[in-house]
Amino acid sequence: MIARIVAAAVPVAVGAVTLVLFALVAARVRLLSPLAALGVLSLALIGGGTLSLAVGLLAWLRAGQGADGPTRAAALLALLTGLVLVGVILFQGARAAGRPAIHDITTRPDDPPALVAARDYPDNRGRDLDYPHGPADSAEQQRRAYPDIAPILLDVAPAEAWARARRAAVALGWAIVAGDAGAGTFEATAETPVLRFVDDVAVRVRGREGGSVIDVRSLSRVGVGDMGANAARIRRFREALHGNC
């Protein structure tokens, strides 16, 4: 029995890694929905990683009892694979523990840009897209977790600020879905980089003395917490704007 388990060390390790790669590739080519790909990835990381670690440990213990070189190599492969996969889960868990369970982030919680065109998407039908989408104290949680998320000031006229904001959004890979230069607003969709979850973004430009103020709202369509993804998106947008896109 132990010999059979030891013999499974390499197949288990290879199978776990293959499942991880399948989930990532399937999400990229949209063979699986982001949520389905996340389920497969979680199974591979948690189940495959734990199993690979256990089988590898057993094989390593047997190797210490005078097993041959191939057994030692198989044990090491399974152990390292398991450690890496479980390590990814632990790392993501640590990241999530440091982020609030909110997924609706804006530069101006007291007056966020409205999501209007986003209401027409099938994924959003029936959803209340009024701010905040999530806990009633989302604004306070955001303030504590992301104190740097604030209105973006530019020393240019509103028309130029709107054009620059739109160019920045396109440069970041956002898909513009609606826009009104006269009102100084536009909406876009943005994808997360790995599993391609689609999020909704609204941008609003207003004039101020000596320039313009730009506000952004980024809302996840799926999930309770976003692990900081929406705040990071707004930061990248701010950096692109100041880079004079």
pLDDT of residue 209: 92
pLDDT for position 170: 97
Q: Quick one: 110 and 222 in the same domain?
A: yes
- 97-106 pLDDT per residue, tens: 778 999 999 9
Q: Which residue has the higher pLDDT, 58 or 18?
A: 18
Q: Tell me the β-bridge partners of 182.
A: none
Q: What is the DSSP string of 39-74?
A: HHHHIIIIIIHHHHHHHHHHHHHHHTTT--HHHHHH
What pLDDT is attached to residue 223?
80
What domain range is 56 assigned to? 2-97
- Residue 232 three-state SS: helix
Q: Out of 21-30, 75-84, 137-146, which region has the weakest mean confidence (pLDDT)? A: 75-84
Higher pLDDT, 163 or 125: 163
User: Of 97, 128, 146, which marks where a domain is finished?
Assistant: 97
Domain termination site, one of 97, 125, 140:
97
| Distance of alpha carbon 217 from alpha carbon 61, whole angstroms | 54
Let me know whether 141 and 222 are in one domain. yes
pLDDT at 63 over 80: no
The number of folded domains in the chain is: 2
Q: What percent of the chain has pLDDT over 90?
A: 56
Residues 141 and 83 in one domain: no
pTM of the model: 0.82
CATH number at residue 153: 3.30.530.50
> Could you tell me if 86 and 150 lie in one domain?
no
Helix locations, the chain, DSSP H: 2-7, 9-28, 34-42, 49-63, 69-97, 138-145, 158-171, 229-242
pLDDT at position 51 is 86
Domain boundary among 97, 113, 133: 97
Instruction: Let me know whether 187 and 68 are in one domain.
Output: no
